[in-house]
Amino acid sequence: MIKAISSLRKTLVLPLHLHIRTLQTFAKYNAQAASALREERKKPLYQNGDDEYVDLDWDNLGFGLTPADYMYVMKCSKDGEFTQGELSPYGNIQLSPSAGVLNYGQAIYEGTKAYRKEDGKLLLFRPDHNAVRMKLGAERMLMPSPSVDQFVNAIKQTALANKRWVPPAGKGTLYIRPLLMGSGPILGLGPAPEYTFIVYASPVGNYFKEGMAALNLYVEEEYVRAAPGGAGGVKSITNYAPVLKALSRAKSRGFSDVLYLDSVKKKYLEEASSCNVFVVKGRTISTPATNGTILEGITRKSVMEIASDQGYQVVEKAVHMDEVMDADEVFCTGTAVVVAPVGTITYQDKR
């Protein structure tokens, strides 16, 4: 039998959604959640005027790749440290066919955004938290990683170099993708001898084609996203291709995304394909605990902090699907998604 929840009440957490969507406008959270970009800088290879915009239809941005002008590149050896990186025009990179990333998937990535304020200044959303998460992920994947300062500096330089690609306030964001990969050649299974850190960017709008409308989710019971002891808790590139089959199947049936269950009992909520999930019942907001199979999202953490400040009881725990189907509201969060309300969940309960 298929259960569905529809017409979920939005009134309970609407103030929470508004706080998240306009996070950068609240002075209290600006200090915690966003870093203002310094306008003082050396004259780089880019010469675009600060107020110049690239010629794009800002009112119809989707979430597709529209490469901005410049990317940031930095390298290091297996036992060395990352040296000073530099900006270069966005373009293809050269890799050996035996590169560790191509043969063994030794790579992780992050995602963050640059926002344009009404006065034209740019904000970054907690890039130091992304830097720390990359270091933890790199440790799991046996890779060296940039320092927090190197990471944040690379993000700032990339945002400033591509300022004309940052959409006007309220029209979208500049999505920034830091990527750390084993770029050196290796044949036998082992860590690569060289690593490359790249940051590139693209202007984006809403992640889901529904825009700000409620999502229609399908609970996946055949495939799982991650298992205990695996790498589901870090942003390894190997976590994402395995979800494509389930995601493609769900979208072909008209669903927005997939909700994944735990790999052991297949009765507990984990996360969606690329975002964390929250369940609201009264004044209690529950979200699956991060136990090594769920990514500790930066937006997830921010939602929990703000919700707690707003008087909600925030609980991290194992969330049974019965609780999900009985919820007042379900919503998804992530760097790409920000906050997306869920309208319908289809669940084939096989008990």
Q: At what angle do helices 14-21 and 298-309 cross, to 10 degrees?
A: 130
Do 144 and 52 form a contact (C-beta atoms < 8 A)? no
Residues 6+ apart with CB under 8 A from 231: 140, 141, 238, 239
- The single residue listed with the structure tokens 């959640």 is 33
CA distance 78 to 184: 9
Q: For the residues of 154-183, what is the DSSP string, one character each?
A: HHHHHHHHTGGGSPPTTS-EEEEEEEEEE-
Q: How far apart are CA 5 and CA 294, in angstroms?
A: 24
Query: What 3-state DSSP class applies to 29?
Result: helix
Long-range contacts of 9-18 (CB under 8 A, 24+ apart): 9/328, 9/329, 10/329, 10/341, 12/280, 12/282, 12/283, 12/328, 12/329, 13/280, 13/285, 13/329, 13/331, 15/310, 16/303, 16/306, 16/307, 16/310, 16/312, 16/339, 17/331, 17/339, 17/341
Active site residue 235: yes
The Cα 234–Cα 248 span in angstroms is: 23
Query: Residue 1 in contact with residue 349, Cβ under 8 Å?
Result: yes
Q: To which H or E segment does residue 262 belong? A: none
Q: And the tokens for 151?
A: 């990471």
Q: Which of 113, 156, 163, 235 is catalytic?
A: 235
The set of catalytic residues is: 235
